[in-house]
Amino acid sequence: MCYVKIKIMKKVIILLLVLTLGCDKLTRHCGDTTMDKNGVSWSGTNVAYNRDNTGFKSFSLDSRAEISTSRVEKLDIFKIPCKEGTFYLSKTNAIINDSLTGAGLTRTLEGDQLIGGWSLPEEPDSSNYIQVTFYDECNGRVEGYFNCTLMGYTLEPYDTIVLDTIHLTNGWFEAKIDNEW
C-alpha cells in the first residue's frame, strides 16, 4: 500500500512541476515596449525569442498590453535580423520562409476571442521600420525603435472591418532574447 502511495505522489509532483514550468513560459516578462498608438501612449511587456524556421538567424518580439480587465492588445514584430541596423517592415507572415521582417497588431477579448486585427499595407513604405540600436549576442540583449502604419482587416466570421488605420510612432523596446521559448 505504501509503495502505491509513493508512486502516486511521484506522479503528482511531476505533474505539478510540468504545469508550473509551463505556466512560467506564459507569464514570462523579458522586457518592455512603449509607443504612441494614434497619438495615445501605449506600454506593454514583451517576450523576445529566437526563430530558426526562416532560413536565416532572426528573432521575434511579442508585446502585450492589457487595455481593460478583459481586453488585451498584442503587437508582433517578427523575423527581425539578429544584428544592429534598420530593417523595413513588409507584408508577410511569421511562418512564411522568407527574409522579410513583418508586424501586426491584434486585440482579443477574454484571452482567445479575436475582436480586432491590423497588418501592414500591401505596398512597401519606408516609414514602416524597426531599428535595432543594440544587439548583444552573448547576453541576448536587444534594444531599438520602430514606427509603422497598420491597416485594419476583415474579421471572419463577423465580416466587420475594424478601425481603418493605426499609426504606431515613437516605438521603443528593450528585451532579453529567451532561447528556451
Note the pLDDT tens digit of each residue in 57-115: 788 888 888 777 778 888 999 999 989 999 999 998 888 888 889 999 888 887 777 77
User: C-alpha grid cell for residue 163?
Assistant: 478601425
| 5 occurs within a structural domain | no
Q: What is the pLDDT of residue 29?
A: 66
Task: Give the SS3 label for residue 17.
Answer: helix
| 153 occurs within a structural domain | yes
Give the total number of structural domains in the chain. Answer: 1
Residue 140 reports pLDDT greater than 90: no
**Average pLDDT, whole number, for the chain?**
78
CB neighbourhood size of 46 (10 A): 24
| 23 occurs within a structural domain | no
- For residues 107 and 65, give the distance between their C-alpha atoms in angstroms, rounded to a whole number: 10
| 145 occurs within a structural domain | yes
∠143-124-127 over CA atoms, to 5°? 45
Contact by Cβ (8 Å): 30, 50: no
- Domain residues for the domain of 115 are 29-178
Higher pLDDT, 156 or 27: 156
Higher pLDDT, 70 or 19: 70
| 110 occurs within a structural domain | yes
| 11 occurs within a structural domain | no
Q: What is the pLDDT of residue 13?
A: 42
∠35-24-54 over CA atoms, to 5°? 65
Name the residue among 106, 38, 33, 104 with its Cα closest to residue 63.
33
Name the residue among 123, 43, 136, 34 with its Cα closest to residue 83.
136
pTM, to two decimals: 0.76
Q: What is the pLDDT of residue 55?
A: 54
- For residues 120 and 131, give the distance between their C-alpha atoms in angstroms, rounded to a whole number: 17
Name the residue among 94, 93, 95, 101 with its Cα closest to residue 128.
101
| 117 occurs within a structural domain | yes
Percent of the chain surpassing pLDDT 70? 73
| 18 occurs within a structural domain | no
| 24 sits in which H/E element | helix 2-27
User: C-alpha grid cell for residue 136?
Assistant: 548583444
Q: What is the pLDDT of residue 12?
A: 37
- For residues 76 and 99, give the distance between their C-alpha atoms in angstroms, rounded to a whole number: 16
User: From the centroid of its chain, how far is CA 71?
Assistant: 16
Q: What is the pLDDT of residue 124?
A: 85
